[in-house]
Amino acid sequence: MTNKYIYFVANWKMFGKLKTLNSINKVMSFVKKFKKNKLKLIYCPPATLISPLNDKLKSTIIQIGAQNCHESDSYGANTGQINSSMLKAVGARYVILGHSENRQLGENDNLINLKIKNSIKSGLKIIFCIGESLSQKKNKQTKRILSKQIDRGLKKVVNKKKIIIAYEPIWAIGSGLTPKNSEILEIVKFIKGKVRGSKVLYGGSVNNQNINVLKKINNVDGFLVGGASQNSNNFVDIIRKTFN
């Protein structure tokens, strides 16, 4: 990987209580030796932990993101929902949008587009997830699907600098499977060709074993790590091995 920064985004999913935050101490002391311009480390805990994590991470290089938000940037009668400006107010700098686990719950490209535009308005950067299913991959539809997700998700988004794209094949998430390096290389090139100047991450079953292989993909700007980021030893291992 020859990029200026390497991003590591920890997507904790539905995991963690206040006391779980103690486990991040290991990561905090490990990253002390890194300068901001080498490593971009972003923790995306559940919304319940954003504020306490923000307190904990003050004066570190680690930043915080949320895992999703409501599409509106104003208050409303939306029981159980949180909007992007509320997330910003408690310390989030990023938000993950378009994650396949939320697409599977019914989020479509138009809704994701609205979320992206309003989250940018609120001052957040976007980690925009796209990816194909296994049957789409088998039918050689990957680029067509990604193209559609990008075109619709980023429709009328002017400030593309606020967008980091995470290529996450649905079949790779939580499965222990990953595409071949050559496949990721080709897809990242394709995405960067479509969205000029964009940073592109790979996500899907990244762990402390396969990172030695995945880190060789030289056009990837970093990794979105789900399950393996919930264990700080594993997560530190992933970061250490990437830089070794």
**Closest CB to ligand PEP: residue number:** 226
Q: How far is the CB of 139 from ligand PEP (least distance, A)?
A: 22
- CA angle (50, 119, 222) in 5-degree steps: 70
User: Tokens standing for 39?
Assistant: 């490593």
Identify the CA nearest to 220 among candidates 169, 194, 182. 182
Residues serving a catalytic function are: 99, 168
Q: Would you say 24 or 173 has its CB closer to ligand PEP? A: 173
The residue type found at 114 is L
The smaller minimum CB distance to ligand PEP, of residues 104 and 135, is found at: 104
Comparing CB distances to ligand PEP, the nearer of 54 and 102 is 102
Q: Considering the complex, what minimum distance in angstroms separates the CB of residue 8 from ligand PEP?
A: 11
**Shorter beta-carbon distance to ligand PEP: residue 68 or 85:** 68
153 vs 203, beta carbon nearer ligand PEP: 203
Site for ligand PEP, rule CB under 6 A: 11, 13, 168, 173-174, 203-206, 224-228
User: Least Å distance between CB 20 and ligand PEP?
Assistant: 17
Which residues have CB under 8 Å from 39's CB, separation 6+?
A: 5, 6, 8, 31, 61, 239, 243
Phi, psi of 136 (to 5 degrees): -65, -40
Structure tokens at 137: 């991959």
**Taking the complex as a whole, how short is the minimal distance between the CB of residue 228 and ligand PEP, in angstroms?**
6
Residue 98 Cβ, how far from ligand PEP at the closest point, in Å?
11
Residues 6+ apart with CB under 8 A from 202: 166, 167, 168, 184, 188, 214, 217, 220, 222, 223, 224
Q: In residues, how long is the chain?
A: 244
Give the count of alpha carbons within 13 A of 214, CB side only. Answer: 27
Strands (E), 79-124: 94-97
Q: How many angstroms separate the CA atoms of 12 and 232, rounded? A: 11
